[in-house]
Amino acid sequence: MKKNEAKKTIQQLREQLHYHNYMYYIENNPVISDYEYDQLLKNLEALEAQYPELITPDSPTQRVGGKPLEGFLTVKHKVPMLSLENAYSYEELHAFDERIQKNVGAVEYVCEPKIDGVSIALIYENGVFVRGATRGDGVQGDEVTANLKTIRSIPLSLRGSVLSNAEVRGEVYFPIAAFKKFNKEQEKKGEQVFANPRNAAAGSLRQLDPRVVATRPLDIFVYYISYSDKEIHTQEEAVETLRKAGFRVNPFIKKVQTIDDAIQYCEMLEEKRDSLDFEIDGAVLKVNSSATQKQLGSTIKHPRWAIAYKFSAKQATTTLNDIVVQVGRTGTLTPVAVLEPVQVGGVTVSRATLHNFDEVKRKDIRIGDTVLVERSGDVIPQVVKSITEKRTGDEKARGIPRKCPVCGADVVRTLDEVAVRCPNKQCPARLRWRIEYFASRDAMDIEHLGGQTIDKLIEKHLVESVADLYHLTKEELLNIEGFKDKSAENLLQSIESSKSQGLARLIYGLGIRHVGKYAAQLLASQYHSLEELGNASAEELTQIHGLGQKTAEAIANYFATEENRTLIEELRDIGIRTKEQKHIGKLQGKKVLFTGGLQTLSRPDASDLVMKQGGMVVSSAGKDVDYVVVGTDPGSKYEKAKKLHLHIIDEDEFKQLVGTT
């Protein structure tokens, strides 16, 4: 296809994909199948690969693929992002309305749910999304454009001509159903579990790698136009303009005539609160007229024309009967509150998280206390605080256990962690979690091996490590309650099939601290056997693009342990695939460093090309770096590379090196 023809086809494909994104993510009314959408996207990707000079920032192919950031830039907002004054009673709302009427007379209000998420500002120039930032201190915030581009409901280019140059405000949030699923998966992997959806949204936007953000199903509601080159007369008009431009607008936004109507709206919204798939902590009332908003103005902190009515938190008081300790996969001891059952937000709660022992001490929570319990949405309830005024003197403090409650081993704690751990690798609690993790779908995918079965295997002393799974016999299984011929055969067949899983799954299933699915895949692409990975030093591992210092140290420490090396030898002898065929390429064994922006390749694509040729992408300049690929606006790495007299090449030379030209 000639370039002119390709340019026309690319534009048509982009328009189709923008339309289908809008129908799927904004209108919730897809008109083609996922397969058809994927085919359109693949066609666009193929054409852009053929003519990379035709790639534009608003292309649907550019949503994910930016390089991991070294840190966030601080940017100034076009218009300060002021906070809202809060009201906690209807009397306060009436007082707010009286102040308005005293100054400008009777007004209409636009009411909307107050989303409990992360406030952001989006800037569009000539209809194209160019920058996004967090609220920060209200005057300036962190630029998180690359992360925001991963959110499918944020349009990369605006629809129609209702908006062109504008700054709009919105709230990024983590849908409740998706949050529950995400936390469950994090727990299985032994990785960070978020306290609530808002923390999950904030933590996701703070990720330095947009590819990580892209794995998290963030969403957004846009609610305000803070700046525009087109005059907006009312908040109602602003909402409709946002909707027409292709933004996701909350369906519960409503214009009302009086403050009493606004109060009825707040009552309605609070009743619906539990049925929504997004967290709300109140309602926002805004004066509808833009001219009146300007007339009322703002204080240093708050606009005088808007107020947030805060709902009461989902809380209750009850007695804390005991604090028990759970032991997780990595040996972490977690305190859990055993409560006198109490109704919180329509659900009976009898257990609540206390997070860690430092938290118990900081909040001075004692057995026998009357405690305030909170349930945000449908997440795990937590103990907010003790009601010290109700103490009788019989309450007992719960100190840090000196021994593991399951196996009796002396616990350990490092200076840089709040976690208290059981060091006994053979602790039944740790062993149970370890086997379940190894057998999970994302790891070795051993079907028919649930938690109850694992408990029985441990109880019968049939497994003391994951390797023992591969020595189980049908006779042994038939001696366990609940097993029949067919169920025993199914489990043994699933265990046998797992031997052929790929290296990345095996690395993930070993349960190395801080090594999730992405890190496991990265390691499998760099090291083609467990033996090779096991010989890598922490220093070498930190050079892998995408691995942090803690992860590198955890990997090196894992393989430095004799017990783990013995396990790997056992797995290899059993017949599990501990190595994969190594691809011999032009960059075999070479280290490549990128600095500056590439014109025709995204950084991840360039990194993939290096790895496909057997090379390794590193993140810092050192004497052992073989090639430094310099793009536009290179940073300090380029200067260091020159001082070290490293082999510096440009993008075209790099493409020749990997054979793409």
Q: Is 618 helix (H, G, I), strand (E, B) or coil?
A: strand
Among candidate residues 160, 200, 166, the one with its CA nearest the CA of residue 180: 200
| Radius of gyration in angstroms for the set of CA atoms belonging to the chain, rounded to a whole number | 29
Contact (CB, 8 A) for 201 and 118:
yes
393 Rama sector, left if φ>0, alpha if ψ -120 to 50, beta otherwise: left
Question: Which residue pairs from 557-564 have beta carbons closer than 8 angstroms and sit at least 24 positions apart in sequence?
Answer: 558/510, 558/512, 558/513, 559/533, 559/534, 559/535, 563/425, 564/510
Name the DSSP letter for residue 407: T
Which two three-digit tokens encode residue 471?
Answer: 């020595």
Q: How far apart are CA 637 and CA 565, in angstroms?
A: 37
Max alpha carbon distance in the chain (Å)?
Answer: 86
Contact (CB, 8 A) for 329 and 107:
no
Backbone angles phi, psi at 66, to 5 degrees: -70, 160
Name the DSSP letter for residue 196: S
Q: How far apart are CA 562 and CA 401, in angstroms?
A: 28
Among candidate residues 116, 118, 98, 114, the one with its CA nearest the CA of residue 106: 98
Q: How far apart are CA 109 and CA 493, in angstroms?
A: 65
Name the DSSP letter for residue 82: P
Q: How far apart are CA 289 and CA 107, in angstroms?
A: 8
Among candidate residues 462, 467, 461, the one with its CA nearest the CA of residue 576: 467
Q: Secondary structure of the chain: what % helix, strand, coil (to 5)?
A: 40, 20, 40
Q: Is 114 a catalytic site residue?
A: yes
Q: How far apart are CA 243 and CA 233, in angstroms?
A: 16
Contact (CB, 8 A) for 373 and 316:
yes
Regarding beta strands 370-374 and 333-344, do their DSSP bridges make them parallel or antiparallel, or are they unpaired? unpaired
Catalytic residue among 76, 78, 114, 180: 114
The total number of residues shown for the chain amounts to 661
What pairs with residue 124 in β-bridges? 129, 166
Name the DSSP letter for residue 534: H
Q: How far apart are CA 373 and CA 371, in angstroms?
A: 6
List the catalytic residues.
114
